[in-house]
Amino acid sequence: MVRFACAGTLIAAGVVSAIISLPLSATGSSTAATQPQVISDTELKALSTTIGGADVLSTTRTVAHWFGQTLDPSDGVTYGYNMVGADPNNCSGSDCDATVTVDIIPLNVIVGGMEFDGTNVVAPVLASPQFALNDYGSTPAATNMALSRGAGGVLSQLDASNLLQLQDATMRAQFNKYGTYHLRLNPVVHDPVTIVVPGNKGTLLQSGRGVIFASVNVQWWATRMQNLDASLRYIDPTHLPLYLTDAVLLHIGTNPLNCCIIGFHAAGPVPSGNENAYGPGHGVGNQPVQTMAWASWITPGIYARPNGGVNWALQDIHALSHEVAEWADDPFINNFVEPWLTPTAPQYGCTDVLETGDPVVDIGFAMGTNTFEQGPNPNGTQSADGYYHPEDEVFLPWFMRLAPNLVSEPTQSPSTNVGRYTLMGDLNPFPGFRQPATGCN
């Protein structure tokens, strides 16, 4: 997990002069676009990060959340954690059904004279499994050992025929809770904001399939998101502000080829003086804490090779599903676990955070019908396949080294460990997710 602490807190006081509302040109470009630099597939990584963090109480003014504890038998430590929604082990009836409002803020980003219009992806995101209802009983395709498109099959058998949002299905399977248990997301779309990226903070890159995308400095970008949280008066700590971009990825440091971060989530206390309609930042145990996420729509052909090849699942909502799932399982970025390491995601090294998407970046499945950007890549090859591609997500028992796993939905076929360690269960082909996490130094 790559971490950045920008301005010390999630919402940093400061000017927002870099966030400019501009009339959009008919061509989608304010000036002549610069010539993009080609990035090789070996340089093109997929990363996520977190920003900030905050301690909360049950009375803290923030998203609906619950606190739990689990003993890790591997190291004998009882780990505590906060998660979004209702406590699956201590709720009943309608109290098990939680809804969080998601404030969707599309960002129109101008880099190198080329506009990446976030408003274009609002409709396909709303129609995607993240917010639309689908049946998670099966999937037509899933990632195989080659990280390409493999056979589908039974997915979440205990929720077959139930129409659910993606995160709702994920949380229900994670805790083997059905019936009245839900974590629903209520999307509210707001006016777009235009951001002009200075020439020394962003540039244009081109994938091996000819797709042009933006590469923006992560620390500069994170500060822009923090400033937006401070300046948009409708931001509410009980909501999730979700900033959406189209083909805008982030690089670390000054090298635009040190790329790419595809999303992040953040949390932090709201400083006194930055509060909006929800009251002051002072109080005894009920100070506001704001969570937030940014994710970019991944154009087919940035990562995904043609015809279901390598990185097949790294397109459309892969980053978005990653960040929303991590926000739900670690909303305040303070859920720490026994350090883990996985060969499927060596870019994160040995890490001690409960970030459900990091171990399974690039592993996913097909769901829903996607009609956006389904044509050929600029070089004439075809990466899009008519589906959305949510990421698989690792479950709490994997981090807690629970074997058998009596917490999550059982695997599709009977197994020694009983419960699955990821949403995909048996469809995840990698042995490291058929058992608990392994440690590292």
Answer for the pair 330, 81: CB distance below 8 angstroms, yes or no.
yes
The pLDDT of residue 287: 84
Contact of 388 with 370, CB cutoff 8 Å: yes
Q: Write out pLDDT tens, residues 126-149.
A: 999 999 999 999 999 999 999 999
> What integer pLDDT is reported at residue 162 of this predicted model?
97
- Asked if the model's pLDDT at residue 172 lies above 50, the reply is yes
8 Å CB contact between 263 and 252: no
**How many structural domains does the chain have?**
1
Domain with 112, as residue range(s), is: 2-433
- State both tokens at 50: 């977190």
What pLDDT, in 10s, does the model give residues 352-372? 999 999 999 999 999 999 999
d(CA 311, CA 200): 30
Q: What is the pLDDT of residue 9?
A: 28
Task: With respect to residue 146, please indicate whether it lies within any of the assigned structural domains.
Answer: yes
Asked, for residue 160, whether it belongs to a domain, the answer is: yes
Give the phi and the psi of residue 414 in degrees, each rounded to 5: -55, 135
The pLDDT value given to residue 346: 87
Per-residue pLDDT band for 349 (boundaries 50, 70, 90) equals confident
Torsions phi, psi of 427, nearest 5?
A: -75, -15
- Smallest CA-to-CA distance from 270 within 285, 290, 251, 252 is with 290
Report the SS3 class of residue 290.
strand
Closest C-alpha to 327, from 120, 46, 52: 52
**What confidence category does residue 8 fall into, taking pLDDT thresholds of 50, 70 and 90?**
very low
235 in a structural domain: yes
pLDDT digits (tens, 9 = 90+) for 211-242: 999 999 999 999 999 999 888 988 999 999 99
Which of 151-160, 284-293, 408-417 has the lowest average pLDDT? Answer: 284-293
Q: Which pLDDT score, from 0 to 100, does residue 17 have?
A: 26
pTM here is 0.92
Supply 178's token pair: 């059905």
Backbone angles phi, psi at 397, to 5 degrees: -60, -25
pLDDT of 32 reads 58
Question: Is the pLDDT at 305 greater than 50, yes or no?
Answer: yes
In a domain, 440, yes or no: no
Q: What pLDDT score was predicted for residue 3?
A: 43
More confident residue, 30 or 346: 346
441 in a structural domain: no
Look at residue 82 in the predicted model and tell me its pLDDT: 97
**What is the mean pLDDT of the segment spanning 363-383?**
98
Check residue 439 and give its pLDDT. Answer: 82
**Taking a C-beta distance cutoff of 8 angstroms, is the pair 166, 129 a contact?**
yes
- What is the three-class DSSP state of 83? strand
Taking residues 153-173, report their average pLDDT.
98
pLDDT at site 273: 55
In this prediction, residue 332 carries a pLDDT of 97
Q: Hunting for tokens 């729509």 — which residue is that?
A: 297
Q: Is 35:212 a contact under the CB 8 Å cutoff?
A: no
User: pLDDT by residue (tens digit) across 108-123?
Assistant: 999 999 999 999 999 9
Bridge partner residues of 194 (DSSP) = 108
Q: What is the mean pLDDT of residues 297-316?
A: 98
For the chain, the average pLDDT equals 90
Per-residue pLDDT at 4 exceeds 70: no
Q: Confirm whether 438 is domain-assigned.
A: no
Residue 439 lies in a domain: no
Domain assignment present for residue 329? The answer is yes
